[in-house]
Amino acid sequence: MLVMAFRSAGIDVGYVGGGLFADPKIPPAAIGTTEWIVAEVDESDGTIGNFSPSLTVLVNIDWDHPDRYRSQLELETAFAGLLARTKGPVLINSACALSARASQGCSCPYTFGEGGDYALVSHRVVGAEHIALKLGGRFSIDSATVRAFGAFNALNATAALAATHLAGVVLKTDMLSNFSGVRRRQGILAAGSGFVVIEDYAHHPAEIAALLAGLRDRVSGTGRLRVVFQPHRYSRTAQFLSGFSAALAGADALYLLDVYGAGESPLPGGSTSDLAAALRVEKPDLRLMHAGGSHASVYAQLYAELCPGDLVAIVGAGDLDVSARVWLDTFDRVTWWDKVAAFLADRVSKDTIVKREESLAGKTTLRVGGAARLYAEPTNETDLIELIRSAHLIGLRLLPLGRGSNLLVPDEGVEALVLSLRHSCWESFSLLGDGRLRVGAGLRLKNLCGLAAKEGLVGFEFLEGIPGNVGGALRMNAGAMGGWMFDVVESVEFVTLTGERQTMPKSAMHVDYRHCAELESAIATFAVLRPVSVGAAGPVIAGQIDAYRDKRKKSQPREPSAGCIFKNPPNDSAGRLIDAAGLKGAREGDAEVSQVHANFIVNHDHARAADVIALVLRIRAQVEKTHGVLLEPEVLLYGREWKDVL
């Protein structure tokens, strides 16, 4: 965090870390170009005695290496020496009495944390990845955002920002908002399929207790915190046996692996069997399994007991990270998704469709792609909200699907619950007076256009040829013939992806080209629309619709497509650039750049998503080479991000 804070301020510090950044593009060490170097000092081998820092940050003094320090006093003496040799400020945890004792006699001590000189007043969770800090004391800013979770990371971030300030750096609230994290420190191995797997290197009782307390806050509803733990070193296990049993008692279910010796020979009182015996005394009702060293047996038992909503923590500093990945690679996904489907079906009415492995190709206008692991069509708003809340409750990824007119579904399908408002209950069309309409999100745009024309309502004609529904048009602010969906919107009703029903006027929404920010994390259910004018003669409106229809037929292909593939760059047309690059008629398999409109890719019966993606890459490369313009896709890569394939 210190390294990232310095670098976000434009200061190219050198650094040597004890762990690897989660982002593989960031090396574990760098020389830097300034006078500062940030070093994580490991006291385990005694080299701490060779350091004389300009500034020292002391998070705590946990007795973690009894093989090196035979007593707590020896450890405290080592840290006291480090602080005494520090040439400038010393920054210690306000809650650590041992650190305070070690810092006695320092000429320039400061504290961080609750009630510290650099105070952490409070913290709260913001979204899925961030925590917001409220700061006080000597801080020059009163808040900060950190990409991490857990109270201990809030404290770590406070220390990093305080040290950065003491080093003379001007603080900013977003210095840690893009912190990449550290490998094997709260790293997410799996998420989105109805359970979450997190790995962490914690191998000391204090670390484990802090980790499990933080994870407990992330388990909701009927979910359980399941912990796979591998003790590290026989000496550490024997020395801290009671501490380990107290910390691990914070799990709902515990799966123990044999001690990872790290070169040590077994010691009396330091085995996993000894730890299991201590845990049975500490928490008799704990679900506890010890399979005598077999990683495969432990993970098989874990899988058999895993339920939707569970959070699995892979904890320890041994080799269990390798076996965890093997387990996930060989995970029986068929049986698991059957279990999740049954969980959802039990929570909605019998009329709501919940299916497994539902093909999505036929539900899109391009007619390519694989299946959804789970697919649902709610028959009423109650079931829709229940499905959304249930998905949120168990950590199941949820993807809305309209009429599929702007989507490219990958050939492998999507690992998610796909929700579609295709039932007739979502196709409502009601007059409210003054020409205003309340329409359902499932109403097709073509039908909306026709029904509005019958009522003499002007302003909806441009929707006639857009092959989507109201919900998708709102999400993408669909447009054609110079008109945009939000031109006729008064307000939108939607359900957030946490299951909260909201209504918002257009004036409060953030809408721009092919985008509505509020509907990125919500599903539109209804909208109130207002026409441009009321009372026009039917033939006049019909004439405008016919004119738009004729123009579309002449300028757009008839074969299956997803509409415009690329966004128009500023003051230019993507179709013109593609045509000028000589790409009309270019093919990959059965996917072709349309001969009618170059910004369309059409499907000649048997195209695959891979063909379309290959053509997208080819078009981008050729247009950039020819015109120096890098086109950005407009069509959505369903369930994935274009940045992962471009």
The string of pLDDT tens digits covering residues 506-532 is 999 898 877 888 888 899 999 999 887
- Confidence class of residue 242 from pLDDT cuts 50, 70 and 90? very high
* pLDDT single digits (tens) 63-99: 777 777 878 888 888 888 899 999 999 999 998 888 8
**What domains lie within the chain, and their CATH numbers?**
2-166 (3.40.1190.10), 187-331 (3.90.190.20), 334-420 (3.30.43.10), 427-540 (3.30.465.10), 557-644 (3.90.78.10)
C-beta of residue 148 within 8 angstroms of C-beta of residue 125: no
Residue 496 has pLDDT above 80, yes or no: yes
Cα–Cα distance for residue pair 277/284, rounded to 1 Å: 10
Cα–Cα distance for residue pair 515/473, rounded to 1 Å: 10
How is residue 300 written in tokens? 């098989």
Cα–Cα distance for residue pair 117/112, rounded to 1 Å: 6
The residue-averaged pLDDT of 103-118 equals 88
CA neighbor of 299 nearest in space, from 309, 314, 279, 316: 314
C-beta of residue 259 within 8 angstroms of C-beta of residue 237: yes
pLDDT of residue 388: 95
The residue-averaged pLDDT of 431-443 equals 89
Q: What is the DSSP letter of 249?
A: T
C-beta of residue 579 within 8 angstroms of C-beta of residue 626: no
pLDDT of residue 141: 93
- Confidence class of residue 449 from pLDDT cuts 50, 70 and 90? confident
pLDDT of residue 120: 94
pTM of the model: 0.77
DSSP letter for each residue of 162-199: HHHHHTTPPP-TTTBTT---BTTSSEEEE-BBS-EEEE
pLDDT of residue 539: 67
Among the residues of 408-557, which ranges form H helices?
445-454, 470-476, 538-555
The pLDDT > 90 percentage for the chain reads 60
C-beta of residue 395 within 8 angstroms of C-beta of residue 196: yes
Q: What is the DSSP letter of 120?
A: E
pLDDT of residue 363: 94
DSSP letter for each residue of 47-72: GGGG---SSEEE-------TTT-SSH
Cα–Cα distance for residue pair 578/591, rounded to 1 Å: 15
Residue 288 has pLDDT above 80, yes or no: yes
Catalytic positions, written as ranges: 514, 564, 634
